[in-house]
């Protein structure tokens, strides 16, 4: 220990030097010599700054653990309260919506059937009707069509003048199939009446109808087609089907009222047990059906 030696110690990354022969540092030097002789126990110097740092970190960690349950409980309470508040608000809003104002009854109880019909009104596209017709001619004006129709009237053949796209079609018969229509045409040709067989259909058109009107119109199409299928082999149509159709007509409907009136006016012709008359009645109903959809 005669030689002067320096011992260097790091404190927080700063290098501190001590002289062994310095009386003020003899005690510290002795500690250093002991540490060199016993390498199993390295010298560790803890300064006041390091002690304060450890104590400060430990204190923060302890305070966090202390307040952690409180923070978690607060966050949970806020979340649950928000959910319950939203649910209650929806319930209150739903109750208020169903409460009548000024002591009056809800609007839906005034006339439920009428409002339901109006609320279900919308665009419909009926399937339409189609069949084979026996045509007596086509004209540019009604006068010529009526003049030519007189020839068929003289022969006892009923006819219908059908206006479409500015032209007047003269129809003198109708059948479900082309063969049946051809037989009608041949019968008229034997009476020196020129005719022509062709397929005719009511074009699809988008109309505003309620559900009840649409259902009734579908029933009309079915009754019309089934009665046309009975002709010309049968001598009559199904009167009961037309009467039932009139009974189920939706009274609130204005759009289809003209078609209902035409059915009523043709009932007597159906009762005559006359094939030609029944065909003319079906042609008239078919024409009125198209006019109702185009109005």
Where along the chain do its domains lie? Answer: 6-45, 128-294
Which range of 4-13, 124-133, 244-253 scores highest in mean pLDDT? It is: 244-253
Class of domain 128-294: alpha beta
Average pLDDT, the chain: 77
What size, in residues, is the chain? Answer: 295
Question: What are the pLDDT digits (tens) for 143-168?
Answer: 999 999 999 999 999 999 999 999 99
Question: What are the pLDDT digits (tens) for 187-235?
Answer: 999 999 999 999 999 877 788 999 999 999 999 999 999 999 988 766 6
H/E element, 147: helix 142-154
Question: Which two three-digit tokens encode residue 52?
Answer: 């304060």
The pTM of the full predicted model, rounded to 2 decimals, is 0.60
Count CB-CB contacts under 10 A for residue 66: 9
Residue 19 backbone dihedrals phi, psi, to 5 degrees? -95, 135
122-124 and 207-209 strand pairing: antiparallel
């Amino acid at each position: 220990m005669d030689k002067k030696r320096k011992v260097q110690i790091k404190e927080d990354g700063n290098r501190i030097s001590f002289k062994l022969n310095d009386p003020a540092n003899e005690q510290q030097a002795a500690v250093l010599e002991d540490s060199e002789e016993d390498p199993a126990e390295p010298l560790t110097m803890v300064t006041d700054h390091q002690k304060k740092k450890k104590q400060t970190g430990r204190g923060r960690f302890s305070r966090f653990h202390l307040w952690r349950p409180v923070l978690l409980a607060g966050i949970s309470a806020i979340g649950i309260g928000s959910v319950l508040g939203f649910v209650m608000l929806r319930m209150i809003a739903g109750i208020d919506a169903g409460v009548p104002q000024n002591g009056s009854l809800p609007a839906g109880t005034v006339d439920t059937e009428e409002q339901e019909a109006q609320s279900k009104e919308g665009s419909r596209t009926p399937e339409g009707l189609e069949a084979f017709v026996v045509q007596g001619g086509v004209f540019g004006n009604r006068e010529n069509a009526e003049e030519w129709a007189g020839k068929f009237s003289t022969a006892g053949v009923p006819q219908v003048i059908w206006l479409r796209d500015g032209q007047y079609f003269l129809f003198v018969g109708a059948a479900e199939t082309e063969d049946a229509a051809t037989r009608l045409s041949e019968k008229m040709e034997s009476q020196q009446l020129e005719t022509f067989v062709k397929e005719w259909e009511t074009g699809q058109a988008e109309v505003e109808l309620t559900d009840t009107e649409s259902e009734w119109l579908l029933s009309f199409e079915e009754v019309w087609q089934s009665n046309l299928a009975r002709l010309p082999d049968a001598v009559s149509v199904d009167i009961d089907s037309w009467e039932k159709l009139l009974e189920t007509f939706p009274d609130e409907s204005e759009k289809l009222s003209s078609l209902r009136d035409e059915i009523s006016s043709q009932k007597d012709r159906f009762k005559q047990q006359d094939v030609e008359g029944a065909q003319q009645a079906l042609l008239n109903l078919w024409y009125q059906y198209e006019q109702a959809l185009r109005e």
